[in-house]
Structure 1
Amino acid sequence: MQASFQLLRRRRFLPLFATQFLGAFNDNLYKSAMVILVTYAIYSDPTKEATFNAIAGGLFILPFFLFSALAGQLADSSDKAKIIRIVKTAEIFIMIAGAAGLLLHNIPLLLTALFAMGVHSSFFGPIKYAILPQHLKSDEVLGGTGLVEAGTYFAILMGTIAGGLLGRNHYEIAAAGVLCVAIVGRIVGGMVPPAPPETDAPPLKMDWHIVRSSIALVSATLHIPRLFLSIAAISFFWAQGAVLAAQFPPLVKNVLGANEEVATLFLAIFSVGVAVGSVLINRLLAGRVLAKYAPAAAIAMGLFVLHLYWNVTQWTQPENGLMDLHTFIRIPLAEWVMFDLFGVAVSGGMFVVPLYAFLTTTVPKSETARTVAANNIVNSGAMVLAAILLTVLVQAGVSVAETLLMVAIASIGAAWIAWKLHKACDDEACRIG
């Protein structure tokens, strides 16, 4: 593990790590400030709040479904560092619109900027994983992937806390913050070393047709059994995560009877847990890219969610308004709720990190960005479907607590797919080169 942290001293890794860190921080500073602003300052209706969170989650993910094929082709056919500079420049202009939405309390403008940030992230997404095998040695890829994931979720933690604290009463500071972070991200992104296309691969002809290129890319990837299984397992994880993330604020406010401080705490616990799981799995696997622990991690995730559901159903709401953080943590049952959240997140990190490393180490380097892009398309489709299903269930009267059962049941499917992957492929049988 110490060798992995040494990567943070290398120019071939640190600028990419920092760029991803700042991007994740800014995404979540903006999203958290937006959600807290809408949930606690604009709306005062539980159904509207839950619906808005589900729609916002789906709207951010939709660009991954639409544009990942183009992003993957561009990343495999162009210098990845150059694309990073372009997308980080675009982030500055997007955050100008987002800052205006926060200042004006304008929901259409807020959602427009959120969608644009999804477009921005859909083009950066294939690069952050595909560039690792190009800049790192083969035995460094799992450690590098784990650091990227851990750093991402630590950034999510910091961005979530900042957005939660600023979103309701200090949205002017949040507006200035998202713009400043975007500018710093552009400066750091310019330091990523060149990552030109692989010279041993034939030139890639771009297909700019969104639908045709997406279908072709997914078809070319999913017909390979090992990639199909890993992408399907990752998709289960992100669908579950989409439901949990969308339901945290409504769960805290309308079920547990707590204020935005506790909502921010929930997202922070989840972020820290995934970061811990990301680092822990690298230690357990000792740098090897294997799915051996993924089935157990998925089952553990489902059990923690199931126990969380049980604790939530036993909760008694306060009678005198929303609890603050100090009051919440003094309730004995709150300790179990926080423990379950942390357990879900640690298990999730242990589940998903090896699968991402698997995607980038079992295909030729000239195809890594397109493989990650195909994964993003399928993942985003699963997340959008989860957001749609969540919206329908909420509108049909299903409680926020009951939607947790969806996540617990889905863990069984994720564990089964991960087991199939583990049985079908190990780090020797599936490694390229």
Structure 2
Amino acid sequence: MTTTTHLLRARRFLPLFVTQLLGAFNDNLFKNAMVLFVVFNVYNSEKAEAHFSGMATALFIIPFVALSALSGQLADMRDKARIIRIVKTCEIGIMTVGATGLLLAWKGFHVEGLAIPLMLLALFAMGVHSTFFGPIKYAILPQHLHADEVLAGTGLVEAGTYMAILAGTIVAGYISAPAAAVTVIVTALIGFFAGRSVPPAPPEQPNEPLALPLLRPFLARPRNVVRALGLVPVVVADQVVSLYRLVHSTTRHPRVFLAISAISFFWAVGAILFVQFPPLAKNVLGCSKEVASLFLVIFSVGIAIGSVSINRLLKGTVSARYAPICVVGTALFVVGFHFVCAAWPVPEQRGLLNLTAFITAPLAVPLIGTLLGIAITGGMFIVPLYAFLTTVVEKCEAARTIAANNIVNSGAMLAGSLLAMGLTAAGMRIVDQLLLTGILCLFSAWLGWLLYRAEVAHLGAQETHTFDEMAG
């Protein structure tokens, strides 16, 4: 029996695997079903559609920026299984709100005044849900698995995440709004019961107080909490302090700093592309929502292919030696994608092209090829950089290092989403924004080259962080 087969039958791994898979599926099903429905059924303006797509992306990302410091601490200092149960319970309520918004929009009842705000509220809450669950799904593995099982377990979690993203994206493009509303609630319920079966995972270090330094005087005297005015700004300031301390403590080392910077810059470019895909498919290519969903599927498949390819190329060695050339390849494919989109013929028939009509179009093959190239080279670029974050730091600090990476990544993706919205509002055509993303990729190539230089200079060394100051 292989290690993989053994793990998939073990209670110490299977419930976690199922829980994280269903969570990723639900995130992508709801987000894509919402965006595709609104873009293709509510708005009829490229500017409005791009604005909504960008706003949805930004709302989902904001919690990662604001709460990743707290989520990383909780993952290291509290029972991870208990956090999972709390998070999955909240998901049921969140998806009920989101499903209500989808159904109201489908019925045409107060679409812009009620339905869309409900959907966006649920999307934001799912961002909070994912922020707290993200560090746990990797940090819990060393507690439940044997040393020789951790690599296989991590690979299964990563593969399951991509499978779930792919499945959620595909399903969102083909089912109706009512079907999507029912599916997200059912998925949340199944995830709740799976999460209850995850074995306990108590903290492996002393139970420290959470990093709320500015709020601690109020917590020491409960009456002051009631009397205090402006407590919300104090909490916000606390989180800003915690975010700064976490990111500063993590990124003060060359390899970690450069790896996080390169990953973040790349995902800023990725965020711009994701914002552009639905309105690009509808307004530039004249295609249906199934084709827009296909673009997202191709992107996910390409990243998975790139992840496997670079692992084989590096033969298991964590190295950034191929990072610069990979992201230069990404830039070239983005430019190619731009020219194919610009040359795409305006369809003579009325209505949007369905999937069959798109695939048989003369420029479909080069369009799909360039998009797949973007994703494959992107996957080859980022996977070794993620590996730096778990191999050059001490194991007890891995979750907070990942959390720090999530903070910077999310901030970069938020910036990318806002940039896409701003460029569209300024009148730049979506197809022309593709050229800008190609140029931005070159900056990621420069960061990748700096990382490789730092890798050579610090070969064999392990980074040591000082997280104790966060509790002070």
Letter of the 1:204 counterpart: E
Aligned partners of 2:442, 2:413: CA distance in 1, in Å?
A: 17
Match of 1:392 in 2: 422
Query: Is 1:69–1:370's contact at 8 Å kept on the other side of the alignment?
Result: yes
1:113 lines up with 2:127 in the alignment: no
Match of 1:216 in 2: 245
> Bigger CA drift: 208-217 or 125-134?
125-134
Match of 1:340 in 2: 370
Task: Quote the offset at 1:147 in angstroms.
Answer: 3.9
Aligned partners of 1:9, 1:73: CA distance in 2, in Å?
A: 30
Which of 187, 191, 199 is the aligned partner of 2:193?
187
**Identity fraction in percent:** 56
Match of 2:233 in 1: none
Match of 2:438 in 1: 408
Query: Is 1:147–1:279's contact at 8 Å kept on the other side of the alignment?
Result: no
- Aligned pair in 2 of structure 1 residues 16, 432: CA closer, same or farther (>3 Å)? farther
Q: How does 1:34-49 map to 2 (within 5 A)?
A: 34-49=34-49
Which of 308, 322, 339 is the aligned partner of 2:352?
322
Task: Quote the offset at 1:137 in angstroms.
Answer: 6.3
> Bigger CA drift: 343-352 or 94-103?
343-352
Aligned partners of 2:388, 2:4: CA distance in 1, in Å?
A: 17
Task: Quote the offset at 1:129 in angstroms.
Answer: 2.9
Query: Is 1:127–1:369's contact at 8 Å kept on the other side of the alignment?
Result: yes
1:233 lines up with 2:262 in the alignment: yes
Bigger Rg, structure 1 or 2: 2
Q: How does 1:83-98 map to 2 (within 5 A)?
A: 83-98=83-98
Which of 320, 323, 327 is the aligned partner of 1:294?
323
- Aligned pair in 2 of structure 1 residues 30, 399: CA closer, same or farther (>3 Å)? same
Task: Quote the offset at 1:19 in angstroms.
Answer: 2.0
- Aligned pair in 2 of structure 1 residues 159, 90: CA closer, same or farther (>3 Å)? same
- Aligned pair in 2 of structure 1 residues 357, 204: CA closer, same or farther (>3 Å)? farther
Query: Is 2:255–2:388's contact at 8 Å kept on the other side of the alignment?
Result: no
Q: TM-score, normalised by structure 1?
A: 0.92
Letter of the 1:161 counterpart: I
For residues 64-96 of structure 1, give each alpha carbon's deviation from its aligned partner in whole angstroms, at most 9, with x where no partner exists: 011111101111101222211211111111001
Letter of the 1:213 counterpart: S
Match of 1:307 in 2: 336
Aligned partners of 1:136, 1:292: CA distance in 2, in Å?
A: 31
Query: Is 1:298–1:415's contact at 8 Å kept on the other side of the alignment?
Result: yes
Task: Quote the offset at 1:135 in angstroms.
Answer: 4.6
SS in structure 2 at match of 1:332: coil
Q: TM-score, normalised by structure 2?
A: 0.85
For residues 151-178 of structure 1, give each alpha carbon's deviation from its aligned partner in whole angstroms, at most 9, with x where no partner exists: 2222111111111112xxx211110100
Aligned partners of 1:67, 1:343: CA distance in 2, in Å?
A: 34
- Aligned pair in 2 of structure 1 residues 374, 360: CA closer, same or farther (>3 Å)? same
Match of 1:429 in 2: 460
1:150 lines up with 2:159 in the alignment: yes
Match of 2:469 in 1: none
SS in structure 2 at match of 1:425: helix
1:177 lines up with 2:190 in the alignment: no
SS in structure 2 at match of 1:429: coil
Aligned partners of 2:207, 2:385: CA distance in 1, in Å?
A: 28
Task: Quote the offset at 1:144 in angstroms.
Answer: 4.5
Query: Is 1:21–1:155's contact at 8 Å kept on the other side of the alignment?
Result: yes
Task: Quote the offset at 1:346 in angstroms.
Answer: 1.6
Query: Is 2:260–2:405's contact at 8 Å kept on the other side of the alignment?
Result: yes
Structure 1 unmatched ranges of 5 or more: none
Instruction: Count matched residues.
Output: 427
Structure 2 unmatched ranges of 5 or more: 106-114, 213-237, 465-472
